[in-house]
């Protein structure tokens, strides 16, 4: 398995095929003696908010594995002259990883979304992938002063993987603050994944995803929520990628 590293603005982005990255995650769980990893997916929307917070930039550089994510990032780097890079979104990566982890009887803890959605996501995942163990779950709406209690709950569950779906940057901030307190091997920030697993939101039809227009499908479904993401954040991030000197 070979993952490719791309450097831009002092960030090292990891890219590769979905199968290669799924193998990377599975190898990590097979050998927990390796260093603990925080996975961060960086798409145009996350790129925009990240570059508004210098402290978070430094923390992610120091603590996280940054994954190249989304058609927008793919387009920006192609126009920059880097080439046509494979991009990795967590929603498509998730089932590949789960299918492999079924054979390892992996313990996974879900953290994020609202109470009803996270419970449903955990049940659906357990049903679809019976070889894994959803050893616990907790909603994502909690204050910072509740984190110690939640960390204790995660550790008591004996989780191997913590999947955090609180949206960028809340999920990354939680992961970085609590990395050394958590006994898991992998912290995987997954954004809105739990909404899809629970069935509360539907993905675009396969052919729409195939031609890379899922962003347009989501915009048509939720125009108000997606407007800033698909306009201000997207164009600012593209401009920053194209015109930054580093």
Helices (H), 105-188: 115-128, 147-156, 170-178
**Closest CA relative to residue 48, chosen from 201, 242, 246, 237:** 237
pLDDT at 1: 53
| Helix axis angle, 170-178 to 54-63, nearest 10° | 50
- List strands edge to edge, sheet with 133-138: 4-8, 11-15, 64-68, 37-42, 186-189, 161-165, 107-112, 133-138
Kindly list the domain boundaries of the chain, sorted by start residue.
4-243
Pairing of strands 11-15, 64-68: parallel
Cis geometry, peptide bond prior to residue 169 (ω within 30 degrees of 0): yes
Angle formed at CA 67 by CA 61 and CA 72, multiple of 5 degrees: 115
Q: How far apart are CA 94 and CA 22, in angstroms?
A: 8
pLDDT at 128: 96
Helices (H), 31-169: 44-50, 54-63, 71-80, 90-101, 115-128, 147-156
pLDDT at 9: 81
The answer to whether the predicted template modeling score (pTM) of the entire model surpasses 0.85 is: yes
Query: pLDDT truncated to tens, each residue of the chain (246 aa)?
Result: 578 999 988 789 999 999 999 999 999 888 877 789 999 999 999 999 999 999 999 999 999 999 999 999 999 999 999 999 999 999 999 999 999 999 898 999 999 999 999 999 999 999 999 999 999 999 999 999 999 999 999 999 999 999 999 999 999 999 999 999 999 999 999 999 999 999 988 888 889 888 898 988 888 989 898 999 999 999 999 999 999 876
């Amino acid at each position: 398995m070979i993952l490719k590293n791309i450097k831009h603005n002092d960030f090292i982005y990891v890219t590769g095929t979905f199968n290669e990255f799924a193998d990377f995650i599975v190898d990590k769980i097979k050998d927990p003696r390796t260093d603990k990893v925080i996975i961060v997916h960086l798409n145009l929307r996350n790129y925009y908010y990240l570059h508004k917070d210098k402290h978070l930039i430094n923390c992610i550089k120091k603590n996280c594995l940054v994954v190249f994510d989304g058609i927008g990032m793919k387009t920006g780097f192609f126009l920059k002259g880097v080439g046509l890079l494979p991009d990795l979104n967590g929603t498509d990566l998730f089932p590949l990883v789960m299918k492999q982890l079924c054979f390892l009887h992996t313990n996974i803890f879900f953290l994020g979304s609202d109470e009803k959605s996270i419970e449903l996501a955990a049940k659906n995942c357990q049903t679809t992938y019976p070889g894994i163990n959803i050893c616990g779950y907790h909603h994502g709406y909690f204050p910072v002063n509740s984190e110690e209690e939640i960390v204790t709950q995660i550790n008591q569950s004996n989780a191997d993987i913590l999947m955090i779906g609180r949206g960028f940057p809340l999920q990354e901030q939680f992961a970085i603050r609590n990395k050394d307190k958590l006994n898991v091997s992998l912290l995987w920030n997954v954004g809105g994944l739990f909404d899809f697993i629970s069935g509360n939101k539907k993905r675009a039809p396969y052919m729409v995803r195939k031609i890379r227009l899922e962003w347009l499908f989501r915009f048509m479904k939720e125009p108000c929520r997606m407007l800033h993401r698909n306009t201000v954040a997207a164009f600012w991030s593209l401009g920053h990628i194209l015109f930054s000197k580093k």
